[in-house]
């Protein structure tokens, strides 16, 4: 089940903490662009989870920006990978964007996150130029999709 959630609730928070820990292990601090908990609770952020029973399997967020929506906080629990969880979350974020009049989605991921890049490409995202407040670095991949 995909549904809106609060990032500070225990299960989503625990999964987000796993995501943050992984990012901090893989990348230098200046290459980390994950949203902190406070930012995920801000107005203009649509945060969702995928659940199976009471178990949270994945998270995702759509942040409304000027002229586009940015996909953030996409993370799937290790034991749920390969089951379509991330694709379902991405579809739900796209549906929300359409319903709220957002016609362009953008995201930043990393070149070494092969599974993430493939997920986005399979779902119609294409590489694009750096956008927003992102700083030039050697790891980021920028993608977008017109809805």
Per-residue confidence (pLDDT) for residue 39, from 0 to 100: 94
For range 110-120, the mean pLDDT: 93
13-42 tens-digit pLDDT: 999 999 999 988 988 888 888 899 999 999
Q: In this structure, what are the phi and psi dihedrals at residue 74, rounded to the nearest 5 degrees?
A: -75, 120
DSSP for residue 35: P
Q: What is the full DSSP assignment across 113-139?
A: -HHHHHHHHHTT-EE----TTPPP-SS
Q: What is the pLDDT of residues 64-113, one digit of tens each?
A: 999 999 999 999 998 998 899 999 999 999 999 999 999 999 999 999 89
Helix and strand counts by DSSP (H, E) for the chain: 4, 7
Give me the domains of the chain, ranges plus CATH numbers: 2-146 (3.40.630.30)
Residues 128 and 140: beta-carbon distance below 8 Å? no
CA distance 47 to 12: 10
Query: Residue 124: pLDDT band by 50, 70, 90 thresholds?
Result: very high
What is the per-residue burial (b if ≥16 Cβ within 10 Å, else e) of 93-115?
A: bbebbeeeebeebbbbbbeebee
pLDDT tier at 51 (50, 70, 90 boundaries)?
very high
């Amino acid at each position: 089940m995909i549904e809106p959630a609060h990032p500070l609730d225990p299960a989503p928070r625990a999964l987000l903490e796993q995501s943050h820990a992984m990012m901090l292990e893989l990348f230098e601090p200046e290459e980390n662009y994950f949203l902190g908990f406070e930012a995920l609770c801000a107005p203009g952020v649509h945060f969702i989870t995928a659940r199976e029973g009471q178990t949270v399997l994945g998270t995702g967020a759509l942040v409304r920006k000027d002229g586009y929506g940015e996909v953030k906080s996409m993370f799937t629990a290790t034991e749920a990978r390969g089951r379509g969880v991330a694709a379902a979350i991405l579809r739900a974020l796209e549906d929300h964007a359409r319903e709220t009049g957002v016609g362009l989605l953008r995201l930043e991921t990393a070149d070494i996150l092969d599974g993430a890049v493939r997920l986005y490409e399979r779902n119609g995202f294409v590489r694009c130029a750096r956008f927003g407040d992102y700083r030039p670095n050697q790891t980021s991949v920028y993608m977008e999709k017109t809805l």
